[in-house]
């Protein structure tokens, strides 16, 4: 089993709850403050494809560098 762990993805719910915090998050996130839903969807499609057939126990962190292991 694999896991996709997104954070701060540009969705209606995030934008509604984060009003006024984008400037704060710009300084905290190395790539950009928000990821796009399509970027997370692409990771899920990859993990569900035959191309990831030998990958197991992986966690893909979609967080723009906010958290790095």
For 3-51, write each residue's pLDDT tens digit: 999 999 999 998 888 888 888 888 888 888 889 999 999 999 999 999 9
Instruction: Determine the pLDDT at residue 69.
Output: 65
Query: For residue 8, with 0-12 CB atoms within 10 Å meaning exposed, 13-18 middle and 19 or more buried, which class applies?
Result: buried
Q: How far apart are CA 3 and CA 6, in angstroms?
A: 10
Q: How far apart are CA 12 and CA 59, in angstroms?
A: 25
For residues 58 and 5, is the Cβ–Cβ distance under 8 A? no
Instruction: Determine the pLDDT at residue 23.
Output: 81
């Amino acid at each position: 089993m694999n896991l996709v762990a997104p954070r701060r993805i540009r969705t209606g719910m995030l934008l509604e709850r984060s009003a006024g915090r984008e400037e704060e998050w710009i300084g905290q996130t190395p790539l950009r403050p928000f990821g796009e839903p399509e970027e997370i969807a692409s990771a899920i499609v990859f993990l569900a494809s035959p191309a990831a057939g030998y990958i197991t126990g992986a966690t893909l962190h979609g967080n723009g560098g906010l958290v790095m292991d």
